[in-house]
Amino acid sequence: ITVFKYPKGVHNVYKVNQKQFQNCDIASATKKYTSGGDTITLKSGTSWFICGVGDHCRNGQKLVVNVN
């Protein structure tokens, strides 16, 4: 389980694929989280997450998680 804590309304979390992660593309993201205290259960493999607010992703607000 991964928990994202952030000020609600200031940030968000999008679950994206690798290409979307590299391009900071939220247009076809698989899931959007906005609560400020998002609990996400991860499966084996790689998951990519980005913030979709303004230039946050392009400024480095993104995360890759690998689960074995």
pLDDT in tens, 3-58: 999 999 999 999 999 999 999 999 999 899 999 999 999 999 999 999 999 999 99
- Using pLDDT thresholds of 50, 70 and 90, give the confidence band for residue 1: confident
Polymer length of the chain = 68
Nearest to 14, CA basis, from 51, 62, 67: 51
**pTM for the full model?**
0.94
Angle at the Cα of 33 (from 26 to 35), degrees rounded to 5? 145
Residue 47: its pLDDT value, please? 97
**End-to-end C-alpha distance for the chain, whole angstroms:** 13
CB contact at 8 A, 49 and 29: no
Residue 9: its pLDDT value, please? 95
Residue 45: its pLDDT value, please? 97
